[in-house]
């Protein structure tokens, strides 16, 4: 084989999927055999450091948490918490169903009052904030004799 193993073929080799051509190439090619050896050594060191870290972490957590004899108590507490959550999930809808809403008559009265207020606001000829302006305009259009703006305009045209 004239070509060296690709990174994909090396990964497949490390996972145990080795083709016959790849095995023959590794036996014949010192460069690919060295690459595989370096990769295996790196993985071995990584595996060892993970194992050491795991052992140290387990020892430290055992010192902090104490012996494992508290495990049955913890499981009981967890199951009790789960049971409480299930009980709440069942009771909350029941409480909502049995809770009576305010009396319908009181709600109908409040609705009628609101509709009357809206109707009064909508049926005004001029919005409430504009009424002073309307009075001001109405007073400007009348002359001293009490004539309206239209009558005043007609009088001016005749002159």
pLDDT in tens, 66-97: 555 556 777 788 888 888 888 777 777 765 65
Question: 26 lies in which domain range?
Answer: 1-67
Tell the residue number behind the tokens 């194992």, with chain if given. 51
Establish if 5 belongs to a structural domain.
yes
CA pair distance 79, 60, nearest whole angstrom: 27
CA pair distance 135, 129, nearest whole angstrom: 11
Establish if 16 belongs to a structural domain.
yes
Establish if 86 belongs to a structural domain.
no
Number of domains observed in the structure of the chain: 1
According to DSSP, residue 15 is labeled T
Establish if 157 belongs to a structural domain.
no
pLDDT (average), residues 1-21: 80
Establish if 7 belongs to a structural domain.
yes
Joined tokens for residue 55: 């052992």
Establish if 30 belongs to a structural domain.
yes
**Residue 58, pLDDT score:** 78
Ramachandran quadrant class, 146 (left: phi over 0; alpha: psi -120 to 50; beta: rest) = left
Distance, CA of 42 to chain centre: 42
Answer yes or no: are the C-beta atoms of 142 and 149 closer than 8 Å: yes
Q: Give 24-51 pLDDT, tens digit per residue.
A: 998 999 999 998 898 888 888 888 888 8
**Residue 3, pLDDT score:** 83
Q: Give 101-153 pLDDT, tens digit per residue.
A: 667 778 888 889 999 988 887 777 777 778 888 788 887 766 544 555 555 55
Least confident of 4-8, 48-52, 56-60, 62-66: 62-66
CA pair distance 66, 157, nearest whole angstrom: 108
CA pair distance 109, 104, nearest whole angstrom: 9
Q: Which position has the higher pLDDT, 156 or 19?
A: 19
Q: Is the pLDDT of residue 1 over 70?
A: no
Answer yes or no: are the C-beta atoms of 141 and 152 closer than 8 Å: yes
Establish if 46 belongs to a structural domain.
yes
- pTM comes to 0.36
Establish if 109 belongs to a structural domain.
no
């Amino acid at each position: 084989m004239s070509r060296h193993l690709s990174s994909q073929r090396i990964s497949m080799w490390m996972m145990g999927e080795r083709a016959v051509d790849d095995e023959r190439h590794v036996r014949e090619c010192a460069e690919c055999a060295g690459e595989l050896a370096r990769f295996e050594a790196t993985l071995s060191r990584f595996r060892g450091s993970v194992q050491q870290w795991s052992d140290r972490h387990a020892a430290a957590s055992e010192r902090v948490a104490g012996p494992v004899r508290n495990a049955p108590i913890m499981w009981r507490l967890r199951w009790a918490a789960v049971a409480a959550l299930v009980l709440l999930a069942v009771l909350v809808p029941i409480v909502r169903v049995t809770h009576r809403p305010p009396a319908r008559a009181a709600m109908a009265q409040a609705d009628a009052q609101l509709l009357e207020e809206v109707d009064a606001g909508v049926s005004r000829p001029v919005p409430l904030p504009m009424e002073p302006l309307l009075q001001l305009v109405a007073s400007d259009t009348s002359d001293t004799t009490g004539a309206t703006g239209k009558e005043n305009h007609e009088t001016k045209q005749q002159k």
